[in-house]
Amino acid sequence: MSLSEIEIKALEKKGYRFAGDLKHAAAKVCHWTKKSLLNEGVCYKEKFYGIESHRCLQMSPSIPFCHQKCTFCWRDISITKTEWDEDFDEPKRIIDDCIAVQRNLLCGFFGNSMVDKKKLKESQEPKNAAISLAGEPMLYPHINDLISEFSQRDFTTFLVTNGMTPFKLENLDKEPTQLYISLDAPNKEVYTDVCQPQISGGWELLNKSLNLLSSFDCRTVLRTTCVKDYNMINPHEYAKIIKNSNPDFIEIKAYMYVGSSRDRLKLENMPSNEDVNRFAESIAKLCDREIVNSSFESRVVLLS
């Protein structure tokens, strides 16, 4: 088992529900899924890319596994392991269980008079998998099969990776609908400070992954989580990386002062919308991009 019983119970208190027998995969209902069911707003991904927030399954096949211990991560990074050295559950089991636990987590909405009944019915059959809940999904040994299984069930898939496994990215048999690579630093020094890689050569591996982006047929996105006084510097270096990797979109998003990140950072490290917009504008000008959308609630700006 990847996690201890104490660690599992702590995560369950935070809303995680585990899938499979080996407790390395889990789902958690997103804040915006709940908001959408009450017609109180939607995730910026619906605004930017057209997915339906009330039909989105937020999950991960690799909850405790990651190559980095990022300072801004809202997860409890004390449980993080860098290598997968144990058995694992199969993709079909993980997906079946994740859908089942999501339905169970949403069952209370059937007694809510304010819920959108049409959306609630649709929510029982999710259609987008946000493979991004926690951990690094590329470390799951059967990530290829997981994406393929979602595809066979007519899911769109948004896969988020930290870029530490370029050899796996290069050999994906089935591409996701949208591939995110996290770009949280303009150079190696800032990367080491902010992302705290637990393996050697992290910055070099990230750049190898970035160089692969143009080879993908799916939609590609670079996501930068902006932490005030840490990585909102050197926009020209970010712009150079963007020019070289040439993604379809760039998300410039504020770090949010939530979860376990509050043990490592301060409220003052969460940039305002104005901070994010100014930083995004400075990068956009330097790499011949433009701001095409934004979400005030999520403090995120989209460049294209």
pLDDT tens sequence across 4-30: 889 889 888 888 999 999 999 999 999
Q: What are phi and psi of 57, to 5 degrees?
A: -105, 110
pLDDT at 2 over 80: no
Query: Which strand (E) or helix (H) includes residue 252?
Result: strand 249-254
User: pLDDT per residue over 237-294, tens digit each?
Assistant: 999 999 999 999 999 999 999 999 999 999 999 999 999 999 999 999 999 999 999 9
pLDDT in tens, 144-163: 999 999 999 999 999 999 99
Rounded Cα gap, residues 80 and 224, in angstroms: 21
- Torsion 122-128-130-133 (CA) sign: positive
Confidence band, pLDDT 50/70/90 cuts, at residue 86: confident
CATH number at residue 148: 3.20.20.70
Q: Which residues contact 98 (CB under 8 A, 6 or more apart)?
A: 19, 25, 26, 27, 57, 59
Question: Is the pLDDT confidence value at 134 over 80?
Answer: yes
pLDDT at 1: 57
Domain carrying residue 33: 5-303
Smallest Cα–Cα separation from 252: which of 299, 285, 218?
299
Contact of 46 with 229, CB cutoff 8 Å: no
Q: What is the pLDDT of residue 76?
A: 85
CA distances for 49 relative to 68, 91, 221, 271, 302, angstroms:
28, 26, 11, 24, 11
Cβ contact 136:164 at 8 Å: yes
CA angle 183-185-187, nearest 5°? Answer: 120
Domain count across the chain = 1
pLDDT band at 104 (very low <50, low <70, confident <90, very high): very high
CA dist 134 and 183 (Å) reads: 17
b vs e for 123-138, b when ≥16 Cβ sit within 10 Å of the residue's Cβ? beebbbbbbbbbbbbb
